[in-house]
Amino acid sequence: MSVFEVFVSAIFVNNIVLSQNLGQCPYVGCSKEKGVAIGMGSAVIFVTVMATMFTWMAQKYLLDPFELGYLQTLAFILIIAALALIFALLIRSLVRGKKTGKSSCCGGCAGCAMAGACHAQSQPTAPSEQADAPAASAEEANNKP
């Protein structure tokens, strides 16, 4: 079987979404926004890859050695549900932190590729803004009754 035949088979014949009716939400399109769709697709890929790794380890090191093959479906469901829950909680905490202004970085922006971008809201960007900022706040304080 050539590489081309493997790809065609994976896309059309053995496609997880189309043949096994899994992951319909990203396939059907739960959002019209590109960012949300990319995020949903990334989440599905991440959970699928992680679930494959963990279920393989459970099969090889737990179910097969102890002859617990009859628990395979239950074990796989629990593993996949736990991974999806962990990933959802991780994303939820990151989104909440982003909305409240918290950053996920450690604060060492000197060597960061995103230096200045993640903390841009709290720091003035130009030296002229730094000079004007205290004067503006002093003027505002004097003008208030």
> pTM of the prediction?
0.54
Q: Which phi and psi (to 5°) does residue 124 adopt?
A: -65, 145
Band of residue 134 on the pLDDT scale cut at 50, 70, 90:
low
| Cα-Cα-Cα-Cα dihedral sign, residues 23, 27, 29, 35 | positive
- Residue 93: enclosing H or E segment and its boundaries? helix 72-99
Close Cβ partners of 33 (under 8 Å, ≥ 6 residues apart): none
pLDDT digits (tens, 9 = 90+) for 72-126: 999 999 999 999 899 889 888 888 877 776 665 665 566 666 666 665 555 455 5
pLDDT digits (tens, 9 = 90+) for 43-83: 878 888 999 999 999 999 999 999 999 999 999 999 999 99
Average pLDDT over residues 29-34: 69
CA–CA separation, 70 and 68 (whole Å): 5
